Amino acid sequence: MQIISSKDNEQIKAIKKLKEKKYRDETNEYIVEGIKLVKEAIEEKVNIKTIVICEDCEEESLKNATKPNTQIEQGLLYEIAKYECIYVTKKIFNMLSEVQTPQGILAVVEKGDSIENINYSEDIILALDGIQDPGNLGTILRTADSANLKQIILSENSADPYNPKVVRSTMGAIFRMNIIKTENLAKTLQMIKKHKFEIVATSLETNNSIYDITYKKKVIVIGNEANGVSKEIQDLSDEKVKIPMLGKTESLNASVAASILIYEYVREKLM
Amino acid sequence: MQIISSKDNEQIKAIKKLKEKKYRDETNEYIVEGIKLVKEAIEEKVNIKTIVICEDCEEESLKNATKPNTQIEQGLLYEIAKYECIYVTKKIFNMLSEVQTPQGILAVVEKGDSIENINYSEDIILALDGIQDPGNLGTILRTADSANLKQIILSENSADPYNPKVVRSTMGAIFRMNIIKTENLAKTLQMIKKHKFEIVATSLETNNSIYDITYKKKVIVIGNEANGVSKEIQDLSDEKVKIPMLGKTESLNASVAASILIYEYVREKLM
């Protein structure tokens, strides 16, 4: 087994570049880091290109995973062995890693999303119009997955869902979703409308409450952290709704607002 | 007007120490930073001890606030002048500031919360059992304020609500709330129960849904990010509820879970 120790190795250089959005866009690949996330990527059958393992990292958890004692751990080892694995020194691994205490394993994964794959049989499609904080985006994707929403449309100016921070904070949800970044959100929403979906935009300038509408065949649009849903999208929406507030605070964190709406859908679905 | 330029100035040293929780606890004071938050602190009539102004900062926004052109700005100048103001150099201000691009104004404020002040006439008291991420705590306080919930009980192992990151992310909500950190959450909840409140704990081990209960005279307990509500608190609770999920993601971000519960209360209140 060869252990890569040079930062000039072509494969290492290519993986390192995936830390930048530009190269993730170019190659259609991204990085998934940590034992739990790599396991989930395998389970969800995403297209794993390479698994990078730190050969001299001392983390007990990775040792257990690659030199297994239990059946579950043997399972992971067996699974990992199906993919192209490369072994690197701790110095190289730390160069590729984005976290403070790396677990010594990461995978290069192909993005699997495409606008042709929108599933119009679902009740709710989520559209995010300019969500810019990676933490908010990750939290929204995690909440959407908990409600079994799989179709997510992102405007061009949104945070990159394949940013390592977003990937981590989705806690695996990203592997189960169809996340489509569109260059023209308005145009994409017009196209979705033809499939008998109504566009619902959150707005502060309406008396219509989120408790007044039904959650079937709707595209729910969540707006930017500071400015909300853009005027262009407000104008093409079929309904505007606001989250009614009782106190002096007049706006909510974007991921909180999205979650409250998503769980109105869950509520309706279960009632 | 004297401008302090020495980091050895006793008043500056005392303010700098407030960056640490230990000194915030000792002095019962904390730091509020930025034009908007200082304005809100003034409006909400919290006990402001000192206002620190950066004399040679170049931010336009601060110049407008301290050398005002408009009536609103004159109002702020007039308000600021009612308090003890100290003027410092940019170097000193940056030493006190916690943000990357300081706005050149901060205030030292007295904590106003006390367990004797719990208002039992309210419908909902929120209890946080080990919320450790300052961002989550700030978001929960902001959401609670948007629902006009003012009584917040924190367990000893929770993040410090007077941590600058929490203060910022509450966006002013912190000035309107009674936030009580208790050394013994179980004992405090037992005491609150005597005032005819029922304790509702979130739990994964119940079939009771958040949609099945009423939200009146309840203490809603939100648990730690990784481990949920502690066993001790589960045991003394009157009801356990879970947020029903439809997808594979089985847990939600703590601030999302809290927000979904808080908005069930809002929903009931408005229906």
Report CA-CA distances (Å) from B211 to A77, B45, B215, B242. Answer: 43, 38, 10, 9
In this model, does residue A54 exceed pLDDT 70? yes
Q: Hey, which residues does A86 pair with through a beta bridge?
A: A52
Q: Which residues of chain A lie closer than 8 angstroms to B147, CB-CB?
A: 245-247
Q: How high is the pLDDT of residue A19?
A: 95
- Flag if B266 and A256 touch (Cβ within 8 Å): no
- Partner residue opposite A260 with nearest CB, options B142, B245, B259: B259
Residues 6 or more apart whose CB falls under 8 angstroms from that of A249 comprise B142, B143, B145, B146, B171, B172, B173
The CATH class of the A3-110 domain is: alpha beta
Q: Which residues of chain A lie closer than 8 angstroms to B133, CB-CB?
A: none
Does the beta carbon of A46 lie under 8 angstroms from any beta carbon of chain B?
no
Q: Which residue has the tokens 């003890």?
A: B84
Counting one residue from chain A and one from chain B, the pairs whose CB atoms sit within 8 A come to: 111
In percent, the amount of chain A with pLDDT more than 70 equals 93
DSSP B31-85: EEESHHHHHHHHHTT--EEEEEEESS---HHHHHHHS--SHHHHHHHHHHTTS-E
Q: How high is the pLDDT of residue A212?
A: 94
Residue A62 — pLDDT band, cuts 50, 70, 90? Answer: low
Q: How high is the pLDDT of residue A27?
A: 96
For β-strands A3-4 and B85-88, DSSP reports them as unpaired
Every domain range in chain B assigned CATH 3.30.1330.30: 3-110
In this model, does residue A68 exceed pLDDT 90? no
Average pLDDT of span A30-51: 93
Q: How high is the pLDDT of residue A57?
A: 74
Q: Which residues of chain A lie closer than 8 angstroms to B202, CB-CB?
A: none
Which of A253, A267, A270 is the mutation pick for testing B, counting most B CBs within 10 A? A253
Q: How many CB atoms lie within 10 A of CB A237?
A: 20
Does the beta carbon of A270 lie under 8 angstroms from any beta carbon of chain B?
yes
Q: Which residues of chain A lie closer than 8 angstroms to B269, CB-CB?
A: 246
| C-alpha closest to that of A112 among A159, A185, A45 | A45
In this model, does residue A248 exceed pLDDT 90? no
Q: Count Cα atoms within 13 angstroms, Cβ side, for B143.
A: 29
Which of A49-58, A86-95, B43-52 bottoms out in mean pLDDT, i.e. has the lowest? Answer: A49-58
- Flag if B145 and A252 touch (Cβ within 8 Å): no
- Give the CATH number of domain A115-270; options: 1.10.12.10, 3.20.20.140, 3.40.50.300, 3.40.1280.10: 3.40.1280.10
In this model, does residue A63 exceed pLDDT 90? no
Average pLDDT of span A56-69: 60
Which of A39, A146, A264 is the mutation pick for testing B, counting most B CBs within 10 A? A146
Rounded CA-CA distance A4/A78 in Å is 22
- Flag if A147 and B246 touch (Cβ within 8 Å): yes
- Partner residue opposite A139 with nearest CB, options B176, B211, B253: B253
Average pLDDT of span A162-180: 93
Does the beta carbon of B57 lie under 8 angstroms from any beta carbon of chain A?
no
- Flag if A270 and B244 touch (Cβ within 8 Å): yes
Q: Which residues of chain A lie closer than 8 angstroms to B247, CB-CB?
A: 145-149, 173, 176
Average pLDDT of span B189-214: 95
Does the beta carbon of B83 lie under 8 angstroms from any beta carbon of chain A?
no
Q: Which residues of chain A lie closer than 8 angstroms to B124, CB-CB?
A: none
Predicted confidence (pLDDT) per residue in A112-161, tens digit = 877 778 899 999 999 999 999 999 999 999 999 999 999 999 999 999 99
Q: How many CB atoms lie within 10 A of CB B112?
A: 16
Report CA-CA distances (Å) from A127 to A106, A134, A187, A216, B268. Answer: 29, 16, 12, 15, 27
Give me the interface pTM, i.e. the ipTM.
0.88
Predicted confidence (pLDDT) per residue in B128-185, tens digit = 999 999 999 999 999 999 999 999 999 999 999 999 999 998 989 999 999 999 999 9
Cα dihedral A232/A233/A235/A238 (nearest 10) = 170
